Amino acid sequence: MQHLSGLKDKWLAAIASAGALDQLESLRVEALGKKGEVTGLMKTLGSLSPEERKQAGQSLNQLKDALTEAIDSRKAALEEQALNQRLKSETLDLTLPARPEQEGRLHPISQTIDEIVAIFGEMGFVVAEGPDIEDDFKNFTALNIPPDHPARQMQDTFYLPPKPGQKPEEALVLRTHTSPVQIRTMLSQKPPIRVICPGRTYRSDSDMTHTPMFHQVEGLVVDETTHMGHLKGCLIDFVRAFFGIEDLPVRFRNSFFPFTEPSAEVDIGCDRSGGELKLGQGKDWLEILGCGMVHPKVLSNCGIDPAKYQGFAFGMGIERIAMLKYGIPDLRTFFDADLRWLKHYGFVPLDVPSMTGGLTR
């Protein structure tokens, strides 16, 4: 066993110089395999005396451990080198045009948002955005939502873990609607204000018609002359343009929302006869959005004088109106990432909606 030091140096040098994984595997088999050189030496221990066997066994185990560690280290280095080489060779040029046979599709949610922006853009609205994580004040308090309102309960709202010494109004939540964007706008801008606020929202609910994350769009107008008639005309024009039905029946029903007064829900005419839903002329009605005049307390909470200014607001679920317009039966399929579904319901990316060129072609 006097030659183990030289044997170790020989194998360590061979392992260090291995340039490929298959070469390294061959070295491992030659040294540590069933018929390997080190394994062969281990088999000779039985012919030694007890004292010699103990000393030689320790030396061989140390040699085996050193070679195993060197092989593992070299293997990791070669794998990283191979991965880097693969990534370098498989670089994708994102500026290249898409392959005709693999043309991508725009998700119906993105398309619907573009359509909404196009319609309200023609009315003078601009897009406003805000963060998905909001504080309690902007998500609830500023909107005149009382402390005991069901929407504040933990079974309906995703609350973030509180920080030490955090005040109730500083509690953070995943926004339950895009109304906080309206609050942010009123806090940062002086009237006149005319914005729409599309974005993701979150509620603790999940079934065929609800998902924990969904999309909403809300609108806000604040000035000195706006009244309920303006609100009704704005929304009637919107639903008729969006669904492409010039004479689509629209009605406004009295309702209640903490942040608007008076409040209303908007229904559109439909026909459910024969078990099939058809929008347009018919004896039935379908609720699609809520609206109302901005509550004076909401204006005051945002530093706007309700004696001088008034306004209206509205909100709707983007998935809901997309399902109605494009005949999508299940809300959950919007988030399944199924390419077959997207190919069927998706849109050509460069077919940008506009009121002059058409919303969908």
Share above pLDDT 70 across residues of the chain, in percent, rounded to a whole number: 92
Averaged over 3-21, what is the pLDDT? 83
Share above pLDDT 90 across residues of the chain, in percent, rounded to a whole number: 47
- DSSP-assigned letter for residue 327: T
Predicted confidence at residue 101, as pLDDT, reads: 64
**CA-based nearest residue to 319, from 236, 244, 212, 247:** 212
Q: Is the pLDDT of residue 360 over 70?
A: no
Q: Is the pLDDT of residue 182 over 70?
A: yes
Amino acid, res. 135: D
Residue where the block lists tokens 């002329």: 281
Are the beta carbons of 291 and 260 closer than 8 angstroms? Answer: yes
Q: Is 261 exposed, middle or buried (0-12, 13-18, 19+ CB in 10 A)?
A: middle
Are the beta carbons of 256 and 263 closer than 8 angstroms? Answer: yes
Give residue-wise pLDDT tens across range 43-70.
Answer: 877 787 887 777 877 887 888 888 889 8
Average pLDDT, the chain: 87
Cβ contacts of 167 within 8 Å, gap of 6 or more: none
User: Coil, helix or strand for 355?
Assistant: coil
Give residue-wise pLDDT tens across range 187-207.
Answer: 999 999 999 999 999 988 766
Averaged over 84-103, what is the pLDDT? 73
Decide which of 55 and 71 is more confident: 71
Q: SS3 letters for 215-283?
A: EEEEEEEEECCCCHHHHHHHHHHHHHHHHCCCCCCEEEEEEEECCEEEEEEEEEEEECHHHCCEECCCC
Q: DSSP for 114-177, please give it.
A: HHHHHHHHHTT-EE----SEEEHHHHTGGGT--TT-GGGSTTTS-BPPPPTT--GGG-EEE-SS
Decide which of 77 and 353 is more confident: 77
**CA-based nearest residue to 178, from 264, 268, 290:** 290
pLDDT band at 209 (very low <50, low <70, confident <90, very high): low
Q: Is the pLDDT of residue 361 over 60?
A: no
pLDDT band at 231 (very low <50, low <70, confident <90, very high): very high
pTM over 0.75? The answer is: no
Are the beta carbons of 221 and 312 closer than 8 angstroms? Answer: yes
Cβ contacts of 342 within 8 Å, gap of 6 or more: 105, 107
Averaged over 167-196, what is the pLDDT? 91
Q: Is the pLDDT of residue 325 over 60?
A: yes
User: Coil, helix or strand for 207?
Assistant: strand
Predicted confidence at residue 340, as pLDDT, reads: 87
